[in-house]
Amino acid sequence: MMSTVLLRLAINRLPMLRPHEKALLEEIVDSETFFHALTVGLLSQIVGRSIRDVPFDARSVLDLARRDAEFLRARTIAAIPVGDTRYPALLREIFDPPYLIYVRGTLPDGAIPSVAVVGTREPTAAAVAAARELGAGIARSGMPVISGLARGIDIAAHRGALSAGTTGAVLACGIDQVCPSSHRSVAAMILARGGFLISEYAPGVAPQKYHFPARNRIISGMARGVVVVQAPSRSGALITADYALDHGRDLFVHAAGIDGVSGAGTRDLATDGAMIVGSADDICAEWGIAPSVTSQTGRPGTIAEVVNADDVARSIAARTRAELESELRRTV
Mean pLDDT computed over 221-232: 98
Q: Are 166 and 93 found together in one domain? A: no
Same domain for 214 and 181: yes
145 in the same domain as 83:
no
Residues 6+ apart with CB under 8 A from 320: 187, 188, 191, 192
Q: Domain tally for the chain?
A: 2
pLDDT exceeding 70 applies to what percent of the chain? Answer: 87
- Rounded Cα distance, 242 and 239, in Å: 5
pLDDT for 263-274, tens place per residue?
Answer: 999 999 999 999
Helix (H) or strand (E) holding 145: strand 145-147
Q: Where are the alpha helices (DSSP H) in 121-183?
A: 125-140, 153-162
Last residue of a domain, one of 272, 287, 302: 287
In a domain, 308, yes or no: no
Q: Which of 219, 161, 156 is nearest to 183 (CA)?
A: 156
CATH of the domain at 176: 3.40.50.450
Mean pLDDT for 245-270 is: 98
Q: Which of 42-51, 201-210, 226-235, 309-318 has the lowest mean pLDDT?
A: 309-318
pLDDT greater than 60 at residue 10: yes
Cis peptide before 180 (omega within 30 of 0): yes
- Same domain (yes/no): 139, 267: yes
What is the domain extent for residue 83? 4-48+57-98
pLDDT band at 129 (very low <50, low <70, confident <90, very high): very high
Cα gap 283→115, rounded to integer Å: 9
Q: Quick one: 73 and 170 in the same domain?
A: no
Same domain, 168 and 86: no
pLDDT at 141 over 50: yes
Asked whether the beta carbons of 168 and 304 are under 8 A apart, the reply is: no
Q: Taking 80 as the threshold, does the pLDDT of residue 330 lie above it?
A: no
Say yes or no: 43 and 169 in one domain.
no
CA atoms within 13 A on the CB side of 135: 30
Q: Are residues 63 and 204 in the same domain?
A: no
Q: Which of 39-43, 91-95, 175-179, 303-307 has the lowest mean pLDDT?
A: 303-307
Question: Is residue 77 located within the same domain as residue 118?
Answer: no
Shared domain check, 154 and 189: yes
Please indicate, yes or no, whether residues 73 and 139 belong to a single structural domain of this protein.
no
Q: How far apart are CA 92 and CA 72, in angstroms?
A: 22
Question: Which is nearest to 215 in space by CA: 120, 123, 96?
Answer: 96
Banded pLDDT at 1 (limits 50, 70, 90): low
User: Region 171-184: what's the mean pLDDT?
Assistant: 96
- Amino acid identity for residue 287 in this structure: W
Mean pLDDT to the nearest integer, 137-156: 97
Task: Give the Cα separation of 153 and 124 in Å (integer).
Answer: 9
> What number is the average pLDDT over the span 91-118?
96
Q: Is the distance from CB of 27 to CB of 81 less than 8 angstroms?
A: no
Percent of residues, the chain, with pLDDT higher than 90: 83
pLDDT at 296 over 90: no
Helix (H, G, I), strand (E, B) or coil at 312: helix
pLDDT of residue 2: 78
Q: What is the pLDDT of residue 292?
A: 65
Q: How confident is the model at residue 302 (pLDDT cuts 50, 70, 90)?
A: very low
- pLDDT for the residue 318: 56
Query: How distant, in Å, are the alpha carbons of 26, 110, 194 from that of 118?
Result: 34, 21, 21
Which residues are bridge partners to 100 per DSSP?
81
Per-residue pLDDT band at 123 (split at 50, 70, 90): very high
Bridge partners (DSSP) of residue 199 are 102
Q: Residue 56: what pLDDT? A: 86
Average pLDDT, integer, range 169-175: 98
Rounded CA-CA distance 200/223 in Å is 17
- Phi, psi values for residue 43, rounded to 5°: -60, -40
Written as one letter, the residue type at 307 is: V
Q: Strand, coil or helix: what is 107? A: coil
Mean model confidence pLDDT for the chain = 90
